[in-house]
Amino acid sequence: MNLYWLQSGGCSGDSMSLLTYEQNIFDFFEINKIELLWHASLSTISFTEHNNLLKKIEDDELELDILCVEGNVVTGPNGSGMFDSFMGKPKKDLIEMLAHKAKYVIAVGTCASFGGFGSHENEMGGIGLQFHHKDKGGFLGKDFKTKSGYPVINLPGCPIHPNSLTVLIEEIVSGIKVDLTGLNSIDEIYNYTVHQGCTRNEYHEYKVEENQFGERGCLFFHLGCKGPTTHSSCNKYLWNEVNSKTRAGVPCFGCARPDFPQEHPFFKTPSIVDTPIELPRGVDRAHYLAYKDMAAAAAPKRLKFRIQKV
């Protein structure tokens, strides 16, 4: 299969992340027989060859299997798209052309999936490929389907974990059905929360809270951690194979959520009566309050006094 990687309104962080894949990413492409037609940071073909390649795809002389888009679709200023241009034309035109030719379209990262940075203000006019935040539609419209019958497959995260892309490619190459969540993200990575597997879970369990930076404790109650409300694999498949932000002590910023980057301060948890306004997904508030109060009362000393090295 071939793959065309297109960068639009983004920071290249997803590409950089991919280079840290635990198996050598070049080996990965080779073993899975993925021919990388174009990646701006890595390809050596000349501009003339690149133009020819695009023309062949446009004229249906070359069938495009996988299109990966990194970054959001830029529509500003005033709908013109000229804040992100390609060959003197808005890059959104190129995205539209390629999306209609590809068998699979993958939105790599939160910006491509949901809009991300520059999607909350009007200036840049960033939108996701098929979502604008949590709402279906986005750039390609809610009814858009690729030649394979799938909608745009979302791989949110800022950046993506390399595993989310590699597992999706492996599913596609193997021809098995790709299961999607309600946000068209892949089930394999996004149907559980960042909280799952965090080494600070026991602190959360007994509501032993971190009140200032650098303590041992749960970051959810005061320091803005969105682990329990964010769907991603950070604590199942570790970052750079060794760690995660929440394990180290950096709160989860909800970077895989459709509303990222959210409006309220990242390092503060919005609360009512010392309980976060937004509770872990699917939890009943009254029961949660009762449970947490009892749990806090039952907290063992080794946690309360932070004797543990975790």
Partner 1 sequence: MAKKTIELQIPLNRVEGDLDIKIKVEDGVITQAQSVGTLYRGFENILKGRDPLDALVMTPRVCGICSISHLSAAVKALESAYGITPPAQAVRFRNLSILCENLQSDLKQVFLMFMADFASDYYKDSSFYEEAKEFYEPFKGSLSRSLLNSTKDVLKIIAYIGGQWPHTSHMVPGGLNVLADDLEIFRIRFLIVKFKQWLEKEVIKTDLKRFSEIDSIDKFEKFIDENPKSHISIFYKIAKETNLFEIGKTGYGFMNFGSIDLPNGETLIKKSFYKNSLEKLDITKIDEDVTYSWYDKSVDDLFEAQTIPNMDKDDGYSFTKAPRYKKEAAQTGALGEELALGDKLFIELYEKYGDCVFVRELARMVRPIRYINFMESEIEEIIKHKDDPVYEKPTYTKDCMGIGLTHAARGALGHWLKIEDNKIANYQIISPTTWNGSPKDGNGNLGAWEKALIGLKIKDIDNPMEMGHVIRSFDPCLVCTVHFIGSDKKIRLHS
| Positions in 155-184 near partner 1 (CB under 8 A) | 158-159
Smallest gap from Cβ 309 to partner 1, in A, equals 6
Which are the contacts of 185, defined by CB distance < 8 A and separation ≥ 6? Answer: 113, 153, 154, 155, 156, 231
Smallest gap from Cβ 170 to partner 1, in A, equals 18
Question: Is 261 near partner 1 (CB under 8 A)?
Answer: yes
Contact with partner 1 (CB under 8 A): which of 1, 52, 58, 86? 86
Question: Is 77 near partner 1 (CB under 8 A)?
Answer: yes
Question: Is 16 near partner 1 (CB under 8 A)?
Answer: yes
Beta bridge partners of 73: 127
Q: Residue 67: in which H helix or E strand, if any?
A: strand 66-70
Question: Is 129 near partner 1 (CB under 8 A)?
Answer: no
Question: Is 308 near partner 1 (CB under 8 A)?
Answer: no
Whether 192 contacts 202, CB under 8 Å: no
Contact with partner 1 (CB under 8 A): which of 163, 239, 257, 258? 239
Question: Is 87 near partner 1 (CB under 8 A)?
Answer: yes
Contact with partner 1 (CB under 8 A): which of 92, 101, 245, 257? 245
Beta bridge partners of 90: 85
* x/- letters, 193..232, toward partner 1 (CB under 8 A): -------------------xxx-x----------------
Residue 111 falls in which region: left (phi positive, over 0), alpha (psi -120 to 50) or beta: alpha
Residue 249 burial (10 A CB sphere; 0-12, 13-18, 19+): middle
DSSP-derived 3-state class of residue 293 = helix
Contact with partner 1 (CB under 8 A): which of 27, 93, 135, 187? 27
Smallest gap from Cβ 256 to partner 1, in A, equals 12
Q: How far is CA 187 from CA 182, 183, 273, 279, in A?
A: 9, 10, 35, 22
Beta strand 73-74 pairing with 126-127: antiparallel
Smallest gap from Cβ 305 to partner 1, in A, equals 16
